[in-house]
A and B are shown apart, each in its own frame.
Chain A
Amino acid sequence: MNRLRALVALAAVVVALVLQVSLFPHLAWQGIVPNLCLLVVVAAALTIDAPSALLLGFAAGVALDLAPPADHVAGRWALALTVVAFLAARVRQDVRPTAVAVVGTVAAASFIGTSIFALTGLLLGDAWSVAELLRVIVVAVVWDVLLTPFVLPPLMKLFGRLDPRWASA
């Protein structure tokens, strides 16, 4: 069961990543696309047990860092998505999260995740103005929140079904 769960979670990350780089650029606004990998990580952190969610966040980040056409310093998305998974797992409630709570968590996760990525870039010497960074981050948050109603419920249902403890609850 555990192995199956890991496989399904990784498959969700792969599908999200491929859609993010191959489908959504056709709909992108100035190249900014919804971060589907981040949505998968948040959905997992809100549903499955925290250690698995942390590992999934790290794995999704490494995939984003290494899959073509990525060319930034590897490890930056891994760091950002690990933190996102940690925070989302911390804020999750004991009851089934309400719609507003989920949207709020996604918005916060998107803002924090993209910001961490941008900040590591600044630390490593990227020449970007703060205004530019903020513009990209805000548009990214809007994209992620817009997609939340379509992506999060099915993902959380999927993860919930795979986790026997939560399925029975």
Chain B
Amino acid sequence: MADTRERRWRGLDRLDARNRPPRSLFVALLLASVTLITLDYHGGPDSAMEPARRAVGEAFGPVESVTATVVRPFTSVPSWLRSQGALSDEIRDLQAENSALRNEVATAGFDRNRLESYDGLTQAAQDLGQALVPARVVAVGPSQSFSNTVTIDAGSQAGIGPDMTVVNNDGLVGRVLRVTRSTATVLLVTDTESIVGGRVGSSMEIGFVHGRGSLADDGGLDLRLVDDAVVPAEHDTVVTWGSTSGPYERGVPIGEVTEVYSSLLETSQRAVIKPFVNFSALDVVGVMVPTGTTSDRAVVEADGALR
């Protein structure tokens, strides 16, 4: 009896020694991870990891595009069941028309103010209508990574570069962080790292729109106005403020004000904005590029023509 137990224990010992992960390798890998973190964190935008990111992106981008293309017919099956064939088309067209009209109404105040202010902005009006490179979302970063980023299937070959504005037919989606040949990574405006210069359409007041990191429908964005004397009204539309050097183009609708908070402790007004874009169902997006950009696909020009 004791003998068998002895043998079994010995056997366990042997197995245990074989299974026990080597401590030295573990420590080496931990140190390697910490080195990566340090390199990337202190390097910032031009860290040593950027070339690696680009190389991995070149490899993974096409695979993600293909997977998304394969998966797409299956994910649209529920919509076929709800509304067959022609009905589904009709609904899509109506939705597109609806959001186009909503955009028009939403930016009406902003447009009128811009014309009234007459400060040379009208001269740029023809530039405001920008060419769009159409693209589809092929990969979405998991929320476990605590950042809101997506990959789109258009890259440097399509004429896309870092810091370009990404929109869909509802409003502002985000900006391009980095590109590979065939894909681009987009930072959504809901990401906690995202800050967009915003302007309240009715009062022309400027502020900053911060993401809250939530993709939920009731997630919302935070708007902090620069001038703390101004209280944004509910249902005011917020559009991008835009600058010549900054990443976001001017006058893209972001969302509407749903709640306003003001506290004595905070120096500025804080308003919650409900974005026009449904971030949990992103699909077709457009990247704003300068007119005349050469692209590997048809570009939607400012007047709506395909080129």
Interface positions of A (Cβ within 8 A of B):
14, 17-26, 28, 30-33, 35, 49-51, 53-55, 57-58, 61-79, 82-83, 85-86, 89-90, 92, 94, 114, 117-118, 120-121, 124, 126-128, 132-133, 136-137, 140
Q: A60 to B306: give the CA distance in the assembly, Å.
A: 42
Contact of A71 among B35, B37, B141, B183 (CB under 8 A): B141
Would you give 8 A-B contacts (Cβ < 8 Å), ordered by A? A22-B139, A33-B144, A50-B21, A54-B29, A66-B52, A69-B140, A70-B149, A86-B26
Smallest CB separation, B198 vs chain A (Å): 19
A146 → chain B closest CB, angstroms: 15
Are A78 and B33 within 8 A (Cβ)?
A: yes
Q: Which residues of A contact B187 (CB under 8 A)?
A: 71
Which of B11, B37, B187 has most A Cβ within 10 Å?
B37
Tell me the minimal C-beta distance from B3 to chain A in angstroms. Answer: 19
Cα–Cα, bound, A20→B71 (Å): 12
A33-B142 CB under 8 A given contacts A22-B71, A49-B18, A51-B22: yes
Q: Main secondary structure on chain B at its contact with chain A?
A: helix
Do B49 and A72 touch (CB < 8 A)? no
Interface size bucket, B side?
35 or more
State the B residues within 8 Å of A (CB).
Answer: 11-12, 15-16, 18-22, 25-26, 29-30, 32-41, 49, 52-53, 56-57, 60-61, 63-64, 67-68, 71, 75, 138-151, 177, 180, 183, 185-187, 191-193, 213-216, 280
Nearest chain-B residue to A135 (Cβ)? B143
Which of B71, B146, B151, B191 makes the CB contact (< 8 A) with A23? B71
- In order of increasing CB-CB distance, the 10 nearest A-B pairs are A75-B36, A31-B143, A79-B33, A25-B140, A50-B21, A75-B37, A21-B139, A69-B149, A94-B15, A66-B56
Q: Are B142 and A21 in contact (CB under 8 A)?
A: yes
Q: B20 contacts which chain A residues (CB < 8 A)?
A: 50, 89-90
A128 touches B141 (CB 8 A): no
| Cα of A18 to Cα of B214 in the assembled complex, Å | 23
Q: With A and B bound together, what is the CA distance between A121 and B40 in angstroms?
A: 13
Interface majority SS (helix, strand, loop, mixed), chain A: helix
Determine the distance from Cα of A114 to Cα of B144 in the docked complex, in whole angstroms.
7
Q: How far is the CA of A53 from the CA of B29 in the complex (A)?
A: 12
Residues of A within 8 A of B183 (CB): 68
A69, A72, A136 pick with most chain B CB within 10 angstroms: A69
With a cutoff of 8 Å between Cβ atoms, the chain A residues found around residue B53 in the complex are 66, 68, 70, 74
Is B32 within 8 A of A58, CB to CB? yes
Whether B139 contacts A69 by the Cβ 8 Å rule is yes
* Inter-chain contact B146/A126, CB cutoff 8 Å: yes
Provide the residues of chain B in CB contact with A136, threshold 8 Å.
143-144, 146
Q: Least Cβ distance of A97 to chain B in Å?
A: 12
Contact B215 A31 (CB under 8 A): yes
Q: Tell me which of A21, A72, A90 contacts B64 (CB under 8 A).
A: A21
